[in-house]
Each structure stands twice: as C-alpha cells, then as structure tokens.
Amino acid sequence: MEIDGAPQLRNPVLIAAFEGWNDAGEAATAGVEHLERVWNGESVAALDPDEYYDFQVNRPMVSVDEDGLRSIQWPTTRLSVVRLEDHDRDIVLLRGIEPNMRWRAFCAELLSVATDLGCEQVVTLGALLADVPHTRPVPVTVSASDPDQAERLGLEPSRYEGPTGIVGVFQDAATKAGLDAVSLWAAVPHYVAQSPCPKATLVLLQRVEDHLGLPVPMGDLAEQAEAWQHGVDELAEEDSDVAEYVRRLEEARDTVDLPEASGEHIAREFERYLRRRDT
C-alpha cells in the first residue's frame, strides 16, 4: 500500500470499520461512510486486493458509464484522510471488507500506513445481532483489549471470549503495536437483521463524538433512525408473535437499566449539546 501525497496530519486518530461478520445492519461501515461524506474525506491509499480476498466470495463488480465504457471495481480496503480545520486534530478513516486470508499481514500493512500518517490512537466500530428491542436506545459497548489502556482511558477491559472477526484481530494488533485501541460495538435487534440500521449508525457516531470530544455532523441520520423505528413498529404490529416478543425484550431491558435516566447518559448528552453549541 502506497500513500498518495503522504499528507501531513495533526495528531490524527484512525477510525475503522469492516464489512462482514462485524457489521450487523451495516451500522459500522455506514458510520465511516457517513464521516467520509460529511467531512469530505480525501482518499489516499488502497490495498492490493489480490493479497487478501477470495474473489469467488467477494466478487468484483462491473459498471458501465454514460459513454458505454465498462469498468471493474475490485473489492478492497481504503484509507482516506480528513483535515478538521477548526480543531487541533485530523482523522484517518479506514473502510473495507473483512479479508478471506492473511489476516495478520492485512492488519500489519494497514497499521504500518496508519503509523506513517502519525496515528497513535485507533477507534474500531462494530455491530452485532443481539436480543435487544428496537424500541429502546441502542446499547453500545466501549472497551479496550489491554487492561492498562482500559484503566488509563477509563474504560472496561474486554472480557469477551469466543470467535472473533477482523475488528477484534485488528484491535489486538493495534494494541500490540503500541497504539491506544478502543472498540465501539452497537447491538442491533436480531429480528430486524436486514440492512441498513441507521439507528445503530447514529448511536455509534454519537459515541465516537463523545470519545474524541469532537462534534460530528449527523445530517439526517436522526430522521432516518426515526423512520426506521416507525417501519419496524408497523411490521411488529402486523405479527402478534413478534409484538409479544418485543414486549418481553422491553421488560428485560427495562429491568436491567434505564439509560435515559442515568446520570452518565444525562452528562454525556449535556456535553454533546455544549460541543455543538460552541461549533
């Protein structure tokens, strides 16, 4: 991977998301795609896909332009940079596809480019299917894989054990490379597994905003999230079994916590309001 122009960035942080097992409802990759759009990300590098992808699994796409010329877009992983003129740091965005082979080399190559760009912090985004009701705030888990990092950043160390995807491998590789690596995971209702899930994308970006202390333009994501929830409400009303299942999930969720009423939630919302007012 070669960087086009090797831009000089100020205290950049890498925000990464990958399609595939780690991306329920496309919530994570949609978040990075949103940041690329609202922050006018400038593409600087792309991996050679021959090294990491099985094209019988991730097939290239053919397109035809207005002049009738055909071209092939190969599945790959790309890096773009964002210069935030009104702030004291810049952003590196990584959006790609979970590789089919050579995961360790894949992570090493991407992290080498990230460190060349000056990144010392990595934020990975993920989304998983879970037993959560669509009518409640989307739960987000924020963790660090290294206990010392977790204590320094005021986070919970990850206690997950079991199969992992490229997000977990990439976070572990970043930690071992000496970078502060934080992972944000949104829980998407498993009974609404089809993409997209803008409600989960919205809450992931809100937590990115909280973690970095930078205002993130949300555009019409809030309206999309509301429309998504209304659509799922209508589907649930048409099926009494689904409606009953959602009711049980709501009761279980409300028994565990009431995030809207928690002091942490109120403080986070107030801090977000102050950042947006100052901007």
Domain limits, the chain = 13-276
**Which CATH number among 3.20.20.30, 3.40.605.10, 1.20.1260.10, 3.40.50.10900 corresponds to the domain 13-276?**
3.40.50.10900
The yes-or-no verdict on residue 252 having pLDDT over 90 is no
Q: Which of 111, 102, 103, 45 is nearest to 78 (CA)?
A: 45
Is pLDDT above 70 for 184? yes
- Among residues 20, 22, 88, the alpha carbon closest in space to that of 58 is found at 20
pLDDT at 267 over 70: no
Cα dist from 199 to 97, 162, 222, whole Å = 22, 27, 7
Residue 192: pLDDT band (50, 70, 90) is confident
Kindly report which listed range (1-5, 185-189, 200-204, 211-215) carries the lowest average pLDDT score: 1-5
Token pair for 96: 């790609």
Residue with tokens 């773009």: 80
Q: Residue 209, SS3?
A: helix
